[in-house]
Amino acid sequence: MEIRFGVNPIAWSNDDLRRLGGDTPLQTCLADAARIGFEGIELGNKFPREADALRPILDRHGLALVGGWYSGNLLPGDVDTEIDGLRAHLALLHAMGSEVFIYAECSNTIHPDIDRGMQDKPVLGDESWPLFGARLSELAAWIRGQGLRFAYHHHTGTVVETAAELDRFFAETSDDVGIVLDTGHAWVGGIDPVEIVRSHPRRISHVHCKDVRPAVLSDVRDRNESFLTGVIQGMFTVPGDGAIDFDPVFAALETMGYAGWVVVEAEQDPAVADPARYAEIGLSALRASVRKASS
């Protein structure tokens, strides 16, 4: 595998619930990431969105910009409008040398709403899937034409959360529509990441690795608490600290010849779970899995 390890700053400063880590300076996150040994980092809410401002900050820490989440609005809109809306984000990625465009449909997502229970997620009707798939395919082809890989982020609380929804997603979209293989969100959605790698190797554009505490997840889901309540209560953690076995995931990635970033990510309350300590645990666990897969 030709992989580079990156980290998501969401453990230091949460994007969806900004009081989590709201007082943590960006400098702290970047210094921790560099010291731990990450080569790159994804965008967070405290990052400048102009390349001339962001580049020297990341260069100071020897970090590349892996990429960054873009909240899509394709369902109620159209492809031309979507392209117009994402041009500034795309320009930043181009200027920073990023290779992947991370995208998720967020027009009706519930994951940023602390008052919406996880069982109340939106569901896309059969009549809507063909149009959604066609629009995604057109958008992804355009992104590919701009020189970046398109990586759709299946995510808890969105229209692409469950195994059945991801299967329908693959059926309705072209091979231009890659995905972010996210192990934590896969677990929540009942998706087997190993099977996805084996069945759809051409679709794996990017990899996020986080772990799950199943007892916490089960309790949150049974009480129909929100995604963000689950984050606060600790349903996610870093690789090596939860229930997911990452060895077969990396064995499958090795077999397919994955080349790209692997990002350690875990939404937790930084006041409870020290971001630097947990990031070290996650990186160490993934490096061990890579060694096993490559041996």
Q: How many CB atoms lie within 10 A of CB 111?
A: 23
Nearest CA to 209 out of 161, 281, 150, 149 is that of: 281
Give the tens place of pLDDT for each residue, 83-121: 999 999 999 999 999 999 999 999 999 999 999 999 999
User: For residue 207, what is the enclosing H or E element?
Assistant: strand 204-209
User: Residue 267 region, left (φ>0) first, then alpha (ψ -120 to 50), else beta?
Assistant: beta
Residue corresponding to tokens 């759709």 = 152
CB contact at 8 A, 34 and 59: no
Distance CA 55, CA 53 (A): 6
Give the tens place of pLDDT for each residue, 267-276: 999 999 999 9
- State how far the alpha carbon of 12 is from the alpha carbons of 24, 62, 111, in Å: 7, 19, 19
DSSP code, position 205: E
User: For residue 134, what is the enclosing H or E element?
Assistant: helix 129-145
1 pLDDT tier (thresholds 50, 70, 90): confident
**In sequence order, what E strands does 68-198 have?**
69-72, 100-105, 149-153, 178-182
What was the pLDDT predicted at 147? 98
Cα angle 36-42-47, degrees, rounded to a multiple of 5:
100
Q: How many CB atoms lie within 10 A of CB 21?
A: 25
- Strands 204-209 and 178-182, bridge-based pairing: parallel
Helix axes 26-36, 51-61, angle to 10 degrees: 40
Q: What percent of the chain has pLDDT over 90?
A: 99
Burial class of residue 189 in the structure, from the number of CB atoms within 10 Å of its CB (0-12 exposed, 13-18 middle, 19+ buried): buried
Give the tens place of pLDDT for each residue, 200-250: 999 999 999 999 999 999 999 999 999 999 999 999 999 999 999 999 999
What is this structure's pTM?
Answer: 0.97
CB contact at 8 A, 242 and 211: yes
Distance CA 170, CA 214 (A): 27
Nearest CA to 132 out of 76, 206, 71, 180 is that of: 76
Q: Quick check: helix, strand or coil at residue 226?
A: strand
Q: Domains of the chain (ranges plus CATH)?
A: 2-294 (3.20.20.150)
Give the tens place of pLDDT for each residue, 186-196: 999 999 999 99
Provide CB contacts within 8 A for 200, sequence distance 6+.
Answer: 170, 179
